[in-house]
A = this chain, B = another copy of it.
Amino acid sequence: MSLRYPNGKMYTPNNMLAKETNKSKNISYSKRGMTLEDDINETNEYYLREGIAVIHKKPTPIQIVNVDYPSRSSAVIKEAYFKQPSTTDYNGVCCGKYIDFEAKETKSRTSFPLHNFHEHQITHMKKVVEQAGISFVILRFSLDEEIFLIESQHLFGYWDRMIAGGRKSIKKEEIEAVGHLISIGLNPRIDYIKTLKNIYHF
């Protein structure tokens, strides 16, 4: 019998996970049916549990219009709207360093469309860099199951090129040239802290 978490994900006992570690590079995303967000959340839970880093996804910003109070202790939101986030989705701390990033995926094989980012997110990233925070994006090419970490400083260049009338995406070759390929593991799934430690030596 296979067990599932309330969110529908399959439960895998820890001793099975351990045995499978050596073939971790062959995990198929399509088979697992995991999104990039799922994988990053599980990675962050692993970091938290192991005392490696404290990184959380920010809640989705909501504009609440109408709330019902059927009883003193409960509140039901009856009307609300999604707001555009003014920052990136993930932030936190590792070894005293401020960590801030956004994660996006594409089905393109040849380039990463810049419309995945909003202008105020780029503005936020620039401000984080000014404050000497570590700012980056995690980009996943979902069909090829390749994940890259790109420091925001590079992203700003591609963004400015688009604003100046240039291409609206980052070429795969450009990402391969400046980005850091993260190999997919099981525990943690996307070990971006390891990549950051190599880049920033902390």
Contact = CB atoms under 8 A, between A and B. Distances in A.
A99 B91 CA distance: 11
A189 B7 CA distance: 44
A114 interface: no
Nearest to A96: B132
Interface stretch (A122-130, A139-147, A170-178): A122-130
Contact of A78 (B60, B78, B93): B78
Given A77-B80, A79-B77, A81-B77, A131 B61 contact: no
B133 A86 contact: no
Contacts of A132: 93, 95-96
Interface residues of A, number: 40
B87 A98 contact: no
B93 A96 contact: no
A188 interface: no
Interface stretch (A18-26, A27-35, A46-54, A153-161): A46-54
A133 B96 contact: yes
A168 interface: no
Contacts of A76: 79-81
24 contacts: A51-B127, A54-B128, A54-B130, A54-B131, A59-B60, A59-B83, A59-B85, A60-B62, A60-B64, A62-B77, A75-B82, A76-B79, A76-B80, A77-B77, A77-B79, A77-B81, A91-B91, A91-B92, A93-B128, A94-B131, A95-B131, A97-B98, A98-B98, A98-B99
Given A77-B80, A91-B92, A93-B132, 19 more contacts: A54-B127, A54-B130, A56-B86, A56-B87, A58-B58, A59-B59, A59-B60, A60-B62, A62-B80, A75-B81, A77-B79, A77-B82, A92-B98, A93-B98, A93-B100, A93-B128, A93-B133, A96-B97, A96-B98
